[in-house]
Every structure is written in C-alpha cells, then in structure tokens.
Amino acid sequence: MQIFVCIKQVPDSGQIRVHPVTNTIMRQGVPTIINPYDLFGLEQALRLRDRFGGEVTVMTMGPPMAVDSLRKALTFGADRGVLLTDRVFAGSDTLATSYALSYLIRKAGETWGAPDIVFCGKQTIDGDTAQVGPGIARRLGLSQLTYVSGIDDMDLTDRQILVRRRGDHGVQVLRSRLPVMVTMMEGSNEIRRGTQADALRAARAEIVQWNAATVGISDTSLCGLRGSPTVVKKVFAPTARDEKAEMISTEGISPSGMAEALVDQIFSRQPGLRDDLFRQAAGH
C-alpha cells in the first residue's frame, strides 16, 4: 500500500512576534514546526502501514529549509521524504499550492506506485483555509473525506475504506472507494515517538528534491504569485479593548462560593438581568 502525507512547514505561532512599531509579523528567527494538524494524518498513515504493510511518503512544497520538517517526519517513522522546491512557487495561494502539489503527487505515484490514500491536515495554523486538501482531491479525482475522526476499516482487495467523519450534527460513518484524500481531525490520535532506528535512519536519509520541471509542470503561469488570484488587501493588528477582564480569586473559596461571586458580579454589571430572570421564572 502507498500512503502519501502532505505536510506544511509553518512558523511556530507560539513564538511569532509582532513588530511593536510597524505591526507586521516578524518572521526572522521564528522557529518552524510541522503544521500540527498534519501530524494526525501522519500518525494515522503510520498505523495503517503497520497494519497493512506498504510505505509512507511525506511530501511538501516549500523553500529548501523545509527539508527539516521532512526529516523530522522521518524521525517519527515515515519511510521517505520528498521536497518540491522552486523559485516559481514563491507566493503561492491555495489554488497555486494545490496545483503544484497535485503534480508532485502524480510524479511520486509514477515513481513509487500510485497512492491509495493521500493524507492532509484539516487546515494549517498560518493560512487556515482548509482548501489545499480538497483542491488536491479535485485535481487528482480522489474521493474526498474531510474532518475524519477515525478509520474503522480498510479492505485493499475490495479497495474500500470505512471512516467516521465529524459532521455538523453528529458523526457520519462513510464508506468510500480507494483512492481517497483524507483530512484528519485534531485529537484523533497522538503522534508516536520514533525508535532509535527511526531516528538514525532519519538523520542519514537523503531527502528527494524535485523542482517544477522534474514533476512535469510546464505552464509556470499557474504557479506561485502569477498563478495566485488571492490578493491581500490589508494587514492589521486588532486594537486592544479598553475593558479588562475581571478576575475572581479562587483561593480558599468553595465551588458554590465561586459561582455566587460570579453571579453577583454579573448582576452588578447588568442590573436589569436579575429582575428579567425572576420575571421569566415566574412566568413559567
């Protein structure tokens, strides 16, 4: 079985600073991490491989330094990493990103075998659009299973997969034909700690590096900034609200005492509320 996992290297949002004067994001020196949502897909991929055999290939489109993320993914136990990197991809929006990734996936499929499942994260923590996964699925004609919280079963001879999906009003159980594109929900699993052998292999692995031409992209007008219709209209930092949160001390106070303090606090702020509530209660 071939499983591909798309990962994106993102700035660690916990460590981003906003320039005190210009209000722009200061990216310099901010450590990068694998988009946390992508790790749920990676772990699910590793579990399927452990059960059904095959290989897990992690891939990303990004600058040369994105090899660090791929190597890290190998430390968790993935079998190989592929980086698609080329100046023409700079400034890609979701449309251009999914265009490039679909070529990457196609080329990887020709090289190591067509994927049975392509995993993506639910969304990224920097772009947050959740559009890239579906964009890939559409371009490659994969069935699309988003917000999956668990994979119940898979049958490689019948080429079917049974998943649970978080819907608006509950959990959907869906059966689909392979190949599929799956985005995993957060919390559906926890990324494993790779073994010593995984760590040693990852430290020495050659990361495959391809460019636009290697994956067969000839029309670069659909790539990068040129292929990105999204325009940023304005960047701003929301102004801080004047009103400060009030804290209620919890030290040495029982839960009911805390609740009372909270209710008192609310009623003192909203004098009419108490009467409204009493009136409503009386009316029922």
Partner 1 sequence: MTHEHFDAIVVGAGPSGNAAAYTMAQRGLKVLQIERGEYAGSKNVQGAILYSDALERIIPDFREEAPLERHVIEQRIWMMDDSGHTGMHHRSDDYNEQKPNRYTIIRAQFDKWFNRCVREIGVTVLCETTVTGLIADEHRRIIGVQTDRDGDGIFADVVVLAEGVNGLIGQRSGLRKELRPEDVALAVKEMHFLPQDVIDARFNLRGEEGVVIEAMGTVTDGMIGTAFLYTNRESISVGVGCLVSEFAKSGEATPHGILDRFKAHPSVRALLEGAEIKEYAAHLIPEGGYRAVPDLVGDGWIVVGDAGHFVNAVHREGSNLAMTTGRIAGETIANVLGSCLACTRDNLQAYVTQLQETFVMKDMKKYKNVPRMLEHGGHNIMDIYPRLLNRSAQTWFRVDGRDKKSKESEILRSARQARGLTGLLGDAFRLARAWR
Ligand X SMILES: Cc1cc2nc3c(=O)[nH]c(=O)nc-3n(C[C@H](O)[C@H](O)[C@H](O)COP(=O)(O)OP(=O)(O)OC[C@H]3O[C@@H](n4cnc5c(N)ncnc54)[C@H](O)[C@@H]3O)c2cc1C
Residues making contact with partner 1 (CB under 8 A):
17, 19-21, 26, 29, 31, 75, 193-200, 203-204
Closest distance of CB 98 from ligand X, Å: 8
**b/e string for 217-237 if b means 16 or more Cβ within 10 A?**
beeeebbbeebbeeeeeeeee
Burial level of 151, CB count in 10 A (0-12/13-18/19+)? buried
**Cβ closest to partner 1, residue 75 vs residue 230:** 75
Which of the choices partner 1, ligand X, none does residue 6 contact, using the CB cut-off of 5 to 8 A by kind? ligand X
Per DSSP, the residues of 8-58 read -EEE-GGG-EE-TTT--EE-TT--EEE-HHHHHHHHHHHHHHHHH--EEEE
From candidates 47, 63, 109, 131, binder to ligand X by CB under 6 A: 131
Considering only residues 222 through 251, tell me which ones interact with ligand X, judged by CB under 6 A: 230, 232
For 81, the enclosing helix (H) or strand (E) is strand 80-84
Instruction: Answer for the pair 127, 133: CB distance below 8 angstroms, yes or no.
Output: no
**Cβ closest to partner 1, residue 196 vs residue 256:** 196
**Cβ closest to partner 1, residue 9 vs residue 183:** 9
Binding mask 133-172 for ligand X (x = CB under 6 A): x---------------------------------------
97 near ligand X, judged by CB under 6 A: yes
Closest distance of CB 217 from ligand X, Å: 14
Which of the choices partner 1, ligand X, none does residue 197 contact, using the CB cut-off of 5 to 8 A by kind? partner 1
What distance lies between CA 69 and its chain's CA centroid?
14
Instruction: Answer for the pair 235, 19: CB distance below 8 angstroms, yes or no.
Output: no
Closest distance of CB 78 from ligand X, Å: 14
**Cβ closest to partner 1, residue 12 vs residue 152:** 12
Return d(Cα 222, Cα 231) in angstroms, integer: 15
The owner of tokens 């692995």 is 205
Using alpha carbons, select from 44, 192, 54 the residue that is nearest to residue 119.
Answer: 44
Give the footprint of ligand X on this chain (CB under 6 A).
6-8, 35, 37-38, 60-62, 91-94, 97, 101, 120-121, 123-124, 126-133, 230, 232
